[in-house]
Amino acid sequence: MKNNQSLINIIKQSYDLHVHMGPEVIPRKYDTTEKLIKSLSGKMAGIALKNHFFCTSPIAATASAGNLKILGSVVLNNFVGGLNPDAIYAASTLSDDPFVVWFPTINAKQFLDNSTWEVAPEWIDSSVVFSARKAVDVPGIRLLDRANKLTSATIAVLNAIKQTDAILATGHVSWQESRVLIKKAANIGIKRIIVTHPIYQRVAMPMTVQKELARLGAKIEQCWSMWKIDNIAIKEIANQIKSLGAVNCIITSDSGQSFSPPPYEALYDFCMALFKENISFRELKTMCVTNPKKLISR
């Protein structure tokens, strides 16, 4: 890590609510809690563990992490039954801490319709032999019916999120689905909402919609991965932050790929690049510390 002490201090206080964790079908940097804790302890305040295939709440609940807060999650892909409120209930039973419920990611119809493979090749180290299923062979999950209304399964999931006081994250569904979803979530009183990397090319949510959802209380996620893996220009990300306002955003790494740096290094590099695009340290602290801490506080 480089030696800007002011930024290092921000990262030490940060909560990264998007860190991929193994064991998983996809090769990951961290496949044991021992590796994870040894790497991150003392470097940041907390993380939320994500896994496209399995619920991470058992990992979070059994990790002995000292001062590093570890939150679990469940991603509503086909592997846990899709839009399954029972999976949310199960995730909620292992800890009193909030946990993240991601709507479908690699099994979202929007994602599959815009992909050749179920698992994007750019997520895999080129030196690793990995065989993914073809996207056309995987059933995609939709949140809306033909009348563009939320399906009964989606409503059941929203009710489970409210009952468990979980954090809603939109995953890789279409921006149109996210818009309807978040309007309903806000209407029924869900308070913890993250719009998952809306700048991602497979989502491409218009700024007008991002601002609309921010006005409903959702936090807009800005990820290191969008810059370093998906090759979105840092200036474009910085401009979105400036347009939305830091108060409406969170910064995450979306790291954990086998080739990625540790989350604290990813956050540092991302924040330094944003600083060079005239995002202030005060704004960076708002997005790395203040806003995610509010999302996970009860």
Residue closest to 171 by CA, chosen among 126, 214, 140: 140
Q: Which two tokens stand for residue 286?
A: 């708002």
Q: What is the rounded CA–CA span in Å between residue 140 and residue 215?
A: 30
Helices (H), the chain: 5-12, 33-40, 57-62, 85-92, 109-113, 152-164, 175-187, 207-215, 224-228, 234-244, 263-275, 281-285, 291-296
Sketch the domain layout of the chain as residue ranges. Answer: 5-296
Q: What is the rounded CA–CA span in Å between residue 202 and residue 232?
A: 12
DSSP symbols for 132-166: PPBGGGSPPB-SB-TTS-B-HHHHHHHHHHHHHTP
Q: What is the mean pLDDT of each successive set of 10 residues along the chain, which is 298 residues long?
A: 83 98 93 91 96 96 85 98 98 92 99 96 88 96 98 99 98 99 98 98 98 99 98 99 99 97 98 98 99 96
Query: pLDDT at position 1, please?
Result: 44
Query: pLDDT at position 3, please?
Result: 66
- Tokens 């590093």, located at residue: 68
Q: Which two tokens stand for residue 249?
A: 């955003």
- Tokens 């998906």, located at residue: 230
Q: What is the rounded CA–CA span in Å between residue 56 and residue 49?
A: 6
State residue 203 phi and psi, 5-degree precision. -110, -55
CATH classification number, 5-296, choose in 3.40.309.10, 3.50.50.60, 3.20.20.140, 3.30.70.270: 3.20.20.140
Are the CB atoms for 43 and 264 separated by under 8 Å? yes
Query: pLDDT at position 235, please?
Result: 99
Side chain identity, residue 272:
M
Q: What is the rounded CA–CA span in Å between residue 294 and residue 298?
A: 8
- Tokens 């944003």, located at residue: 274
Are the CB atoms for 71 and 17 separated by under 8 Å? yes
Give one word for 148, left, alpha or beta, with left for phi > 0 and alpha for psi -120 to 50: left
